[in-house]
């Protein structure tokens, strides 16, 4: 990858041997290795047996999960907040595992729509809940820095499974709970 980055720098009209760029190929390769680490992560490893039998049938929500990803069309970042909810059936999942699932899929070349679906499907297949809801709100630098250059636009996607899809009251409760933000301090 470092050789490719050197070639890219040269193709841009830069001198990859100049002082400020000498280490750039190594740094970029290391950066891409981290930013795409989701390809080398599997769901079982992320969950790490953190599934528990609990008598609880109310909604579990982890909201405002910060994430970043790379758009697969331009390889530019998109980032924002992910809100995840589920209605347990027989199992609950360790709360820290939900952000880890988000990160696993976000650290791949992505489109926001697929990312939203992958998170919902992973939770569904892992714990078999009565329902899963995922909402992602993101800013896409491919829209802000190039193309239409709309710096203040936000893209919102959702994936609803089970009770969140079939029961308007459940879906409404979730959407209301993620809408209520913490007051500014």
* Residues labelled catalytic: 71-74, 112, 140, 142
Q: Nearest 5°: CA angle at 109, between 156 and 107?
A: 85
CA–CA distance, 146 with 127 (Å, rounded to integer): 41
Q: Nearest 5°: CA angle at 95, between 166 and 35?
A: 95
Q: Nearest 5°: CA angle at 145, between 141 and 113?
A: 30
Q: Write out the two tokens for 133.
A: 């809801």
CB atoms within 10 A of CB 30: 13
């Amino acid at each position: 990858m470092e050789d490719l980055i050197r070639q890219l720098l040269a193709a841009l009209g830069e001198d990859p041997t100049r002082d400020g760029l000498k280490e750039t190929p190594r740094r970029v390769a290391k950066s891409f290795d981290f930013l795409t680490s989701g390809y080398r992560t599997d769901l079982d490893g992320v969950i790490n047996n953190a599934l528990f039998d609990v008598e609880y049938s109310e909604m579990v929500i982890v909201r405002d999960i910060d994430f970043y990803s790379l758009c697969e069309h331009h390889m530019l970042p998109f980032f924002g907040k992910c809100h995840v909810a589920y209605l347990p059936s027989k199992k609950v999942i360790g709360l820290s595992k939900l952000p880890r699932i988000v990160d696993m899929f976000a650290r791949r070349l992505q489109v926001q729509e697929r990312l939203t679906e992958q998170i919902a499907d992973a939770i569904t297949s892992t714990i078999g809940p009565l329902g899963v809801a995922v909402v992602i709100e993101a800013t896409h630098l491919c829209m802000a820095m190039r193309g239409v250059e709309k710096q203040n636009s936000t893209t919102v996607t959702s994936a609803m499974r089970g009770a969140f899809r079939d029961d308007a009251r459940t879906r409404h409760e979730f959407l209301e709970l993620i809408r209520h933000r913490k007051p500014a301090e």
